[in-house]
Structure 1
Amino acid sequence: MNRNYFILAIVVLLTCCKSKEIASNNDFYIENDSINLYAFIGEKISLEEFDPNENNADRIEIDSLTGEKIIHKKIVMDNAFKAKYKVIKNVFNKLKTDTITFVVYDHYGRPKFEKYQNVLLYISKNANEKSFYHQKYLFDIVIKNSNEKWTGTKGQNLKKLFKEKQNGVLKERKVFN
Structure 2
Amino acid sequence: MNRILQTLGILMILISCKSTKIGSESEFKMTNDSVNLYAFIGEKLSVIEFDPNENNERIEIDSITGDTLIFKNWVMDNGFKCKYKVLRNVYNKLETDTVEFEAYDHYGRPAFENYENAILYLSYSEEDKKYYHQKYIFDPIKKDKNGKWKGLKGESVEKLFTEQKNGYLTARGVFENE
TM-score when normalising by structure 1? 0.79
Is 1:143 aligned to residue 133 of structure 2? no
Aligned to 1:103: 102
Residues 136-156 of structure 1, C-alpha deviations (whole Å, 9 max, x = no match) = 000000011111110101111
Stretch deviating more after TM superposition (127-136 or 106-115)? 127-136
Aligned to 2:159: 160
Residue 126 of structure 1 and its aligned partner are, at CA, apart by 1.0
Which whole-Å CA distance do the structure 2 matches of 1:79 and 1:24 have between them? 44
Structure 2 unaligned blocks of 5 or more: 1-19
Helix, strand or coil for the counterpart of 2:57? Answer: coil
Structure 1 unaligned blocks of 5 or more: 1-19
Structure-to-structure mapping, 1:123-138, within 5 angstroms: 123-128=122-127, 130-138=129-137
The code of the aligned residue for 1:141 comes to P
Structure-to-structure mapping, 1:61-72, within 5 angstroms: 71-72=70-71
Which whole-Å CA distance do the structure 2 matches of 1:167 and 1:161 have between them? 10
Verify the 8 A CA contact 2:29 2:90 in the aligned structure 1. Answer: yes
1:140 and 1:80, CA in 2 relative to 1: closer, same or farther beyond 3 A? same
Residues 127-168 of structure 1, C-alpha deviations (whole Å, 9 max, x = no match) = 326210000000000011111110101111011000000000
1:131 and 1:69, CA in 2 relative to 1: closer, same or farther beyond 3 A? closer
Q: Percent identity?
A: 55
Give the alignment's Cα RMSD to 1 decimal: 2.4
Residue 73 of structure 1 and its aligned partner are, at CA, apart by 2.0
Which whole-Å CA distance do the structure 2 matches of 1:112 and 1:24 have between them? 34
Which whole-Å CA distance do the structure 2 matches of 1:128 and 1:60 have between them? 21
Is 1:35 aligned to residue 35 of structure 2? yes
Which whole-Å CA distance do the structure 1 matches of 2:145 and 2:59 have between them? 57
Structure-to-structure mapping, 1:38-77, within 5 angstroms: 38-59=38-59, 71-77=70-76
